[in-house]
Amino acid sequence: MTREEVLATLKKQKIRFLRLQFTDILGINKNVEVPENQFEKALDGQVMFDGSSIEGFVRIEESDMLLVPDLETFRVLPWVEDRGQVARLICDVYTTEGEAFPGDPRQALKRVVGEANQLGFTMVAGPELEFFLFHKDQAGNPATITHDAGGYFDLTPLDKGEECRRAIVNALEAMHFEIEAAHHEVAPAQHEIDFKYADAITTADNIMTYRFVTRKIANDFGLHATFMPKPLQGVNGSGMHTHQSLFRGDQNAFFDPHEEYQLSEICKHYIGGLLRHAKGFCAITNPLVNSYKRLVPGYEAPTNITWSEKNRSPLVRIPARRGIGTRCELRMPDPSCNPYLALAVMLKSGLDGIAHKIDPGPPVNKNIFQLTVREKRKYKIEELPGSLFDAVQQLRKDRVVAAALGEHILEHYAAAKLATWHEYTTAVHPWEIERYLDRY
């Protein structure tokens, strides 16, 4: 859309407020909302905000930032507000000197996408975000209460989760999403809504919108939607399996009908890059202390760094489709990640694999969850970091992943995660009280 088309739509639909949305380095939605008398100023990228108040942005003495909207992201929010209709624009963050701010995650992804474009590639990504729908407690606070006893693809709704899921689909479609499927997942109260793949930047924007809309609609139903990776002990956690491929124009660069498995050398090297750098980008794709309680054996989450063209136990899987649908699926990310940074490090790692012709090795088409330690050594299968602390150490050592983030984001992100880890390790948890209080 052009500036004039956006202004005309704002006027025609009697929009009262415009949200200028952006994302901090931790992947949290932020916004500055302006009334209608500021719409033209907003569309011209002249709305300023205090960057010193946002996680990982700038020091107090250099805090003023500008929000420059991407007009293609203009959407009218598909629900009625009491004090006037609201629309939104997703923005890039710039300094007051007109330069791209190095701490802006969206522009970090744009930089890596630009590198791929210079090589003739366009990344296409399709994520599968799982989430839980819980009831709230008597005080109205989020809880892990559920009356849902459903399982994978179950039809009969046992509480109001299915009705809420349909309302989420309706809201997303009103915001121009093409929804491909919606279903109950493996764990009680766990759901998944799949939307169509797109280029990397659009996909990251869609993930941020998806999470926001899901939580908003759930709240309307008196429920709480959470993208926390492992909210319940003893059941599967929530993942964000990310399907990805590279295109050259209309041609899928991952497909070669004459190669083994019909996978091109580009595809195999891309997979090699993902495997080579998986330890290094794990702190980005799996960013919480809680993320590593999902990445444990026994609950379908991958912990083994290898690939397969047949089964779902390795880190990277090749779905059955070929031709234009040829792709690899990275199964480690979870839906709490910052999607701009996650897609940036995945793409950068794959491009490094292509540049250095990294061999992923032969596929392991066995159930890796059932392999012994000796068998894993035979196949040279390594494992992902076991904690957020270990993942941050690996992040700091990986130059390719660091280059994808840039120095500013890397330092602020690592510092924030290590502070979280310190807070976690010094806290006394209920498990410790139950286990030790009456024994020692």
**In terms of C-beta density within 10 A (0-12 exposed, 13-18 middle, 19 or more buried), how is residue 10 classed?**
buried
d(CA 69, CA 89): 6
Would you please indicate which residues are annotated as catalytic (active-site) residues?
A: 50, 128, 130, 185, 192, 241, 312, 329, 331
Only one residue has tokens 């890039």, namely 92
Q: What count of residues does the chain have?
A: 440
Outline where DSSP puts E strands in 7-155. Answer: 15-23, 29-35, 47-50, 64-69, 75-76, 85-95, 122-136, 142-145
d(CA 89, CA 72): 8
Q: Is the distance from CB of 355 to CB of 275 less than 8 angstroms?
A: no
Q: How many CA atoms lie within 13 A of 200 on its CB side?
A: 31
Give the helix/strand (H/E) hosting 305: strand 304-305
d(CA 440, CA 437): 6
d(CA 80, CA 309): 47
d(CA 428, CA 396): 28
